[in-house]
Amino acid sequence: METRKSSPDKKEIRKKHLAIRNAMSEPETAEKSRAICEKLLTSDWYAITDWIFGYYPLGKEADCLEFLKKALSDGRHVALPRTGADCTMEFYEITSLEQTAEGAFHVMEPTAECRRINPMDLSNTQITVLVPGVVFTPTGSRYGYGKGFYDRYFARYAKLNRFALAYENQLEPELEVLDTDIKMQRIYTETGEYDII
């Protein structure tokens, strides 16, 4: 577990990185997101992955929508998360990005007709989860928005591939984390790819 007694608290680190991200221009985030999507399309896992659990970007998060559109056109199964009032998160299959509507926390989520996907029903199937966040370390630690949705999900489904998408300016050398904070296995940025596990 990475810990540093003198490190700023999570709230301050999140605040700092949200300010950095929000200060980026639309052309900058678009160009960096395009570079990240290109890395995903040429990755070693894309050709063999059956299911991609993506996300609909909130604000200036790394935007993977173009990648998800291409995955759908290439015949991949794509699912997006929907969160519940009980602080749970589940993924629902979409066949088009039009099958989304604004849900909790102003995030676009799969609409009511979409089918919930239980990874346990997809045995012998390659599932890759693309994970957003606020700040990461090159060794896989992650701070999200503090709700713990992804940590709880990965605690339930530990065998899923956990690949984060971020800008280089979202990286910190180290973070104070808890045992319940699930590490990423890879982090893709506009200029690099960090293999962790």
Which residues does the annotation place in the binding site? 10-14, 61, 142-150
- How many residues are recorded in the chain? 197
> Distance (Å, rounded) from C-alpha 195 to C-alpha 183?
12
Q: Which CATH superfamily is domain 10-195 in?
A: NagB/RpiA/CoA transferase-like (3.40.50.10420)
Which residues does the annotation place in the binding site for ATP? 10-14, 142-150
CA dihedral over 117, 119, 123, 125, signed as positive or negative: positive
**DSSP H or E run through 92:** strand 89-94
Residue spans of the domains in the chain: they are 10-195
> Distance (Å, rounded) from C-alpha 152 to C-alpha 147?
10
Query: Span 9-14, mean pLDDT?
Result: 92
DSSP-derived letter for residue 49 is -
Can you tell me whether residue 121 is helix, strand or coil? Answer: helix
pLDDT of residue 5 exceeding 90 = no
pLDDT of residue 170 exceeding 80 = yes
Which residues does the annotation place in the binding site for substrate? 61
Percentage, residues of the chain above pLDDT 70: 95
Question: pLDDT tens digits, residue range 109-145?
Answer: 999 999 999 999 998 899 999 999 999 999 999 999 9
> Distance (Å, rounded) from C-alpha 136 to C-alpha 93?
27
pLDDT of residue 7 exceeding 60 = no
Question: pLDDT tens digits, residue range 55-106?
Answer: 999 999 999 999 999 999 999 999 999 998 788 899 999 999 999 999 877 8
pLDDT at 141: 96
Residue 4 pLDDT grade (very low, low, confident, very high; cuts 50, 70, 90): very low
Bridge partners, residue 51, by sequence: 77, 127
